[in-house]
């Protein structure tokens, strides 16, 4: 399992890194378009669709993303769009956490499918637009999520006592969340220092937030960490409702695409909301 996991990770890195640092955003947009459509296929399966229905869900997500691409929305300021998407994530995420697994099955499947496709499509658009704004900007968002996840894991293992959402994801603890927040704040200050010493080609998320005041810098970073946890918990809730451990086995050793991008689903749109509309 470990060997399989490492090989998959190396293949993904080999594909994503050249696209991430390409001179244009289109290579990354094309590559992630395939992944996000696969995620939509997984979403259909998690919500009880058969193979044909899940494929239609993936195709619908692909078509919506292509509409965004054809209209060059990634190259336009979308303050209202990101505010609406961000508010939806906060409100819907809070309601889902409150209702838990039991409430999920009472939501119309058609509504679940539509909302899932919309969330995945907007995440793709947010990643595309973040790349247009600069590789440094996009990378800072990705590493914020990864740092939050890694720091939460190790702090939770070492100090975890109080469960965060025992009926949704029993392994997560409040101590892990606080550890993730501390790790991200440390990352943010280190990133700012590096940006002061070197020209990284574009401003990072942290530089853009700090330019608007240290209050937004700290509160914004902590807010994004919190919402990355919500994204993770929402996917765990859906998988638990479906009785599945992983969203699929598309990524050997890692599970499915949704298992890898769940924390990014709210974080990418909300990061753009903070830098464009706040």
| DSSP result, 121-163 | HHHHHHHHHHHHH-HHHHHHHHHHHHHHHHHHHHHHHHH--SE
pLDDT tens sequence across 149-181: 999 999 999 998 899 988 898 889 999 999 999
Between 18 and 1, where is the model more confident?
18
In the predicted model, what is the mean pLDDT of residues 248-270?
A: 90
Is the Cβ–Cβ distance between 263 and 148 less than 8 Å? yes
pLDDT tens sequence across 117-137: 999 999 999 999 999 999 999
Between 269 and 14, where is the model more confident?
269
- Tokens, residue 142: 């990705």
Q: What is the mean pLDDT of the chain?
A: 93
Predicted confidence band of residue 85 (pLDDT cuts 50, 70, 90): very high
Residue with tokens 């300021």: 77
Give residue 233's pLDDT.
95
Q: Examine the pLDDT at 270 and tell me if it is beyond 60.
A: yes
């Amino acid at each position: 399992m470990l060997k399989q996991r490492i090989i998959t990770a190396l293949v993904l890195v080999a594909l994503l890194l050249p696209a991430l640092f390409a001179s244009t955003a289109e290579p990354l947009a094309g590559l992630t378009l395939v992944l996000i459509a696969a995620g939509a296929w997984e979403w259909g399966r998690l919500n009880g669709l058969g193979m044909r229905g899940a494929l239609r869900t993936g195709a619908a997500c692909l078509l919506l993303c292509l509409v965004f691409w054809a209209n060059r929305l990634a190259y336009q300021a979308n303050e209202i769009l990101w505010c609406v998407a961000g508010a939806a994530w906060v409100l819907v995420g809070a309601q889902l956490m409150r209702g838990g697994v039991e409430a999920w099955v009472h939501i119309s499947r058609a509504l679940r499918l539509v909302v899932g496709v919309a969330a995945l499509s907007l995440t793709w658009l947010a990643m595309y637009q973040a790349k247009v704004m600069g590789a440094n900007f996009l990378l800072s968002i990705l590493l914020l999520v990864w740092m939050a996840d890694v720091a939460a894991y190790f702090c939770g293992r070492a100090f975890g006592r109080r469960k965060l959402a025992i009926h949704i994801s029993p392994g997560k603890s409040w101590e892990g969340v606080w550890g993730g927040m501390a790790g991200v704040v440390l990352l943010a200050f280190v990133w700012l220092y590096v940006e002061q010493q070197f020209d990284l080609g574009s401003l990072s998320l942290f530089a853009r937030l700090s330019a608007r005041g240290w209050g937004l810098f700290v509160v914004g970073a902590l807010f994004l960490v919190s919402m990355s946890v919500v994204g993770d918990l929402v996917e765990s809730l859906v998988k638990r409702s479906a009785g599945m451990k992983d969203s699929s086995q598309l990524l050997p050793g890692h599970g499915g695409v949704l298992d890898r991008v769940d924390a990014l689903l709210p974080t990418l749109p909300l990061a753009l909301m903070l830098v464009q509309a706040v």
